[in-house]
Amino acid sequence: MRPLFLFILLTASALGVNAQTLYLYNVNASAFPTIRADYVAVDAIGRKYPTLAASDFSMLEQAGNGLPANVTATLTHGCRTVTRDSAASILLIVDESLSMEDRVGGVARMDLVKTALRNFVQGLNFQSGTQVCIIGFSGGSRIACPWSGSQSVILDSINRLSPKGATNYESPFIGIPNVFDEFKKRPPAIPKTAIFLTDDQPNPPITNPATFVDTVTSKAFEQSIVIHSISVSETFTNPTIATICSRTGGTSNFGNEMALASMFELVTYSYTARTICYIEWKAPYGCSDFDRDRMAIATLLRGNTAVDTAAYNAGAGSIAVVTSSTLPRRFRNVYVDHGRLTRAWVCDIAGDTLYCYRLGLPAQHYQPAIADKRDYVPTQCHAHNTSAIHAGWYTNVAQCSSSANW
């Protein structure tokens, strides 16, 4: 029996205004100081924002244990369309509940679903290395077809699908077997797509919709899995499943049995051509090896603001260094401040290298607390004086060396 509509409203409420979410992933520091991170941004009811710009975000970056630096002014935004006809790992999650026995125009709904699944599989390019797995679910979950690149094996498994019991949405995701364990059996570099097909709302109800969403989406992000859904004989997609699909970059499709073919076409297009949006920013150079470890802190400024963090390693190139024999002597006793007003550095030349010593005291003090010696290029520099620590900063080494103020 279908759950009461009241439960659906309560579920939607549980995922309400506080569910607006921003996810950062695939942080790329290979072009340091330019950092790029892909993102998914969804509104309070789980829909992807269709049009965002750099002005819709703010960004802080924390290097090591330092204070976060505001890099919002450097943000840019873009999107790219990824198309492929290469290998794919496709996992079909098929509802085998008893309601699939219901007849539509004299034909069992399960038979209509099987026809649509067969047409979908017959359109796949298995010569590229694509493989398909099928998980059937009712009261629990089962492997209806292990990973296979044989069209005949997969079609035979589809023919053996049969209605059995309840409609437990949680079982194929957090039960045994489950989607995530099965995807771990596939090469990690091959794109992963899951298609959740049901004809009913969850029965039993999802125990904790918000926790279920967080668990499934976090596991999906760990393996870069995109989840799509097809709800047949439904006038809407279950709000929990819709949120999961949106957050993982998938689509939610619903309609009657006659629309099955078109719904599969939409999913096929989504998995062969996908738009991925990203933000880029300029990261500050670090002062020591500790500063290679970074934390990006992004805020989505639409509606009720949403925040996400992403840890990444900026690499050796993020630690500023100079080894130029032309470095002028005037760099002796330079203070360097990367937005960390509680940390100061005093710098000196030894041969061709500019060394900096970390001070554990505020910038007005001159005695090094520790001799943390690092090759370093100051991006902001100031003459050694006691009266104007924050006056007369210069933005790069060239400006410092050419200045007449030393």
**Confidence (pLDDT) at 269:** 66
Q: How many CB atoms lie within 10 A of CB 273?
A: 11
d(C-alpha 198, C-alpha 304), whole Å: 32
Instruction: Quote the pLDDT of residue 335.
Output: 41
**What region, left, alpha or beta, does residue 315 occupy, with left being phi > 0 and alpha being psi -120 to 50 degrees?**
left
Q: How far apart are CA 400 and CA 379, in angstroms?
A: 9
User: Residues 314-343, buried b or exposed e (16+ Cβ, 10 A)?
Assistant: beeebbbebeeeebeebbeebbbbbebeeb
Please tell me the chain's helix, strand, coil percentages from 3-state DSSP, rounded to the nearest 5.
30, 35, 40
Residues 162-166, mean pLDDT to the nearest whole number = 91
**Which pLDDT does position 37 carry in this prediction?**
94
Contact assessment for residue 376 and residue 318, using Cβ atoms and an 8 Å cutoff: no
- pLDDT of 308 above 60: yes
Share of the chain above pLDDT 70, in %: 70
pLDDT tens by residue, 223-236:
989 999 999 988 88
- Which of the two residues, 51 and 57, has the higher pLDDT score? 57
Residue 54, pLDDT above cutoff 90 = yes
User: Could you identify the residue written with the tokens 């009461």?
Assistant: 4
352: left (phi over 0), alpha (psi -120 to 50) or beta: alpha
Q: What is the β-pairing status of strands 353-359 and 344-350? A: antiparallel
* Beta carbons within 8 Å of 386's beta carbon, 6+ residues apart: 364
Q: For 123-157, how does the pLDDT look when each residue is reduced to its tens digit (9 = 90+)?
A: 888 988 999 999 999 999 999 999 999 999 999 99
Domains of the chain in start order, with CATH, are: 18-81+277-318 (2.60.40), 89-272 (3.40.50.410), 329-402 (no CATH)
337 or 202, which is more confident: 202
DSSP labels, 214-235: HHHHHHHHHHTEEEEEEEET-S
Residue 252 has pLDDT above 70, yes or no: yes
Q: Kindly tell me if the per-residue pLDDT of 19 is higher than 90.
A: no
Nearest residue to 240 via CA among 38, 1, 3, 26: 3
Q: Chain-centre distance of CA 346, in angstroms?
A: 40
156-179: b (≥16 Cβ within 10 Å) or e:
ebbeebebbebbbbbbbbbbebbb
pTM of the model: 0.54
- Give me the chain's average pLDDT, please: 75
pLDDT of res. 228: 92
pLDDT tens sequence across 25-53: 889 999 999 999 988 887 765 567 778 99
Edge-to-edge strand order for the sheet containing 69-70?
69-70, 57-63, 293-300, 306-313
Determine the pLDDT at residue 271.
64
Question: In the structure, what pLDDT confidence band is assigned to residue 404 with cuts at 50, 70 and 90?
Answer: very low
Q: Decide: helix, strand or coil at residue 34.
A: strand
